[in-house]
Structure 1
């Protein structure tokens, strides 16, 4: 029997058990409303030498589990989080039954909708004006998505309702399963196979391409913000009857967390995206557009393929050095344009190749094509190379990516059916 979705946490807005250090300092979506984003660039964060638990098999924090509110009730921490308890009814309709997750921006709880008898997720935004502003922005984006996709064609989470409760913006969303990251974690960081990635990527690309066509950039795409619709699974055992791995029964997905989604006409903050999925143009301060989502998704697909993050660092210069190991030198014309000239020396990345940090990343990273297991995966790695292109003018768009040969098997399958 597969596990029911409600047995584990699905909605994570904060801690990242992939790394020892707290990723809250890296998620722009959790800080930008109240602070200048540049403040989170300095001082530089820990290097990969201090983040060696980023690789599969290491001990990680078990932060994804739901909390049974019969055993533990939340107390107001004085930071604007709602003091809720099991059985609390909001809007005379939504009864709190479980905690799904929480972070710097919001708490997410599972509720029973007393009108429909359905279970829903309610995102309770912190009761501070800077966070309420982000909550209202997310509501506006979700209303636009609902309006533009009224027949639910694209894999974006649906907002069912929203309201205010004691000063908190509360967003009612369809209840989904585990995030792709949480499933990886619970499955011992065993990677997805290329066929699974093909099906998952096609849905994600269509959803984000839909956003881009409607002049919207997500800006925070990562495995935590891509959730399975249902994460029931079957268990596979080895010859000793020990659990070998979990196999999902369905690969249907949805993109969530539109708190920092930005329309083309809106102000573009200088710092966006969670560190490991942040595009080079953002790090270099060159400005960004919708193609930053494409870079993030390239990193996400690599994480699905490897089972671990491809850029395990919290240091901007080291991040760029890691890119050079995997993707080759950063083009000089980009380094010439950056306002962060402390990253540049004689037209090249200002990086000490005799450092212990350089030794570490050269030991753990390699050129992109060297990750390929066999020639049957050539189309996948060609697509990855097109997405992880330094120059935004050469980076593939998602519209183009959907027609890449990597997805030909899906098109042929659809034609046969």
Structure 2
């Protein structure tokens, strides 16, 4: 009797035991293998009731099913660039739009396996509670901030260093590394976010190959903060353009131009070896490593009194530079014809449209060197036809084969096999702007006392019209302008 009662109690206990989530999985397959939802819920409920045979018990089981199958897990975020296995380098991903407020996530990832990463960003050590109040971005998508606020708990905002089309650059204190850094806060607009993620990917690649960090700006960190991609860089000195501007656009000594040119070409050669084209080389994107400078008398302005502040000009204490802004960088591809480069540093093949590649960077280097030793941009224009006319004024006529290969956009600048100038000029002022330009040789002789011959020959190689005949970066580095045993002060 006791044995019979024990069996009945065991059967009753088994019957009343709630079904686990895994026990219900076979029933999901009854409805095309889909998870339990409002459309197939009733059909699965019928299956459950048939199993238990009694209406009362089926209702009890339905309550249990509803409770057990309810998804109480936090919302999952997309897989991010820092979701990597130990030892792997985080890789930036295009189209990452996560918008959550996160801190130095990259510092967490390398020491943790992918399976250990949290399913939500709003967890301990990642979500930050000491952030400033939420503010709407301005009408252009720029991040709004106040001095002294935190940009995640790691970075404290000290000031604004600059602003551009991409966003803002903020000077911040890195609390972990105890150093000042520059943080590029990209506008919260899709196309700028995508460009920023590509820049992060390029910077990571450059950093893996430029171990000493001697050529390109170093990426310290990156994160997504309130829908703004934030890229953390080492803090460097002013750009060459800012230094020239604060120096009243007075030229650099030729020895300093030589050292800057050498480093710039080394950086370009390094990138080209990696099949990367910068496409936006200009003085604004070349930074001095140090902000320190000395003042020396400007003998060209000897008519000024020594008591006049403009009697002295600034000379950087160090010639060390680094290239920045890889947002426009691209991999080498055949038949690239879209417009690249800032106007003053744009190569003729970009304007004429037959296609461009590595040599467009070399043309930009040539224009930059002229600006450094003269203090002025070589081609100061904002219009294509005038730009081409300026090139012919300084460097001679454009070759026929390049004019013949011009695409439809540039055909209007050509007439009867030559540049439509001055007939096609838009104004008298445009014609005057072209006529006032000297030939390249005369321009160099006006500003350079020694090494003029070598510099002229180098520039003629850097500024050749035909990109196939233009010097490559490593060829230029072997030029006598760089290899001769010059007496240098820098």
Measure how far apart 1:362 and its partner are. Answer: 4.3
CA distance in 1, matches of 2:412, 2:487: 50
CA distance in 2, matches of 1:380, 1:401: 11
Is the Cα–Cα contact under 8 Å of residues 279 and 341 in structure 2 kept in the other structure? yes
Select which of 433, 456, 470 maps to 1:361. 433
Select which of 473, 479, 483 maps to 1:404. 479
Is the Cα–Cα contact under 8 Å of residues 352 and 358 in structure 1 kept in the other structure? no
CA distance in 1, matches of 2:306, 2:463: 42
Select which of 78, 92, 97 maps to 2:153. 92
CA gap 1:267/1:76 in 2 versus in 1, 3 angstroms:
farther
1:375-390 alignment runs, 5 A limit:
376-390=451-465
Structure 1 counterpart of 2:352: 284
CA gap 1:410/1:119 in 2 versus in 1, 3 angstroms:
farther
CA distance in 2, matches of 1:362, 1:345: 19
Give the structure, 1 or 2, with the largest relative contact order (CA under 8 Å, sep 6 or more). 1
Measure how far apart 1:239 and its partner are. Answer: 5.4
Q: After the TM superposition, list the runs of 4 or more consecutive aligned residues in structure 1 that deviate by more than 3 angstroms.
A: 265-269, 409-413
Measure how far apart 1:193 and its partner are. Answer: 1.8
Measure how far apart 1:88 and its partner are. Answer: 2.1
Alignment TM-score, normalising by the size of structure 1: 0.78
Measure how far apart 1:89 and its partner are. Answer: 1.5
Is 1:252 equivalent to 2:330 in the alignment?
Answer: no
Structure 2 counterpart of 1:25: none
Structure 2 counterpart of 1:232: 292
Measure how far apart 1:316 and its partner are. Answer: 0.3
Is the Cα–Cα contact under 8 Å of residues 75 and 84 in structure 1 kept in the other structure? no
Structure 2 counterpart of 1:320: 388
Structure 1 counterpart of 2:47: none
Superposed CA deviations along residues 143-185 of structure 1, whole A, max 9, x for unmatched, are: 0001111232x42100000000001100000101110010000
Structure 1 counterpart of 2:368: 300
1:54-203 alignment runs, 5 A limit:
76-152=137-213, 154-203=214-263
Q: Secondary structure at the match of 1:97?
A: strand
Residues 394-403 or 372-381, more deviating: 372-381
CA distance in 1, matches of 2:338, 2:274: 22
CA gap 1:333/1:268 in 2 versus in 1, 3 angstroms:
closer
Select which of 403, 411, 416 maps to 1:335. 403
Gaps of 5+ in 2: 1-94, 96-134, 298-303
CA distance in 2, matches of 1:107, 1:267: 33
Is the Cα–Cα contact under 8 Å of residues 262 and 268 in structure 1 kept in the other structure? no
Measure how far apart 1:376 and its partner are. Answer: 3.3
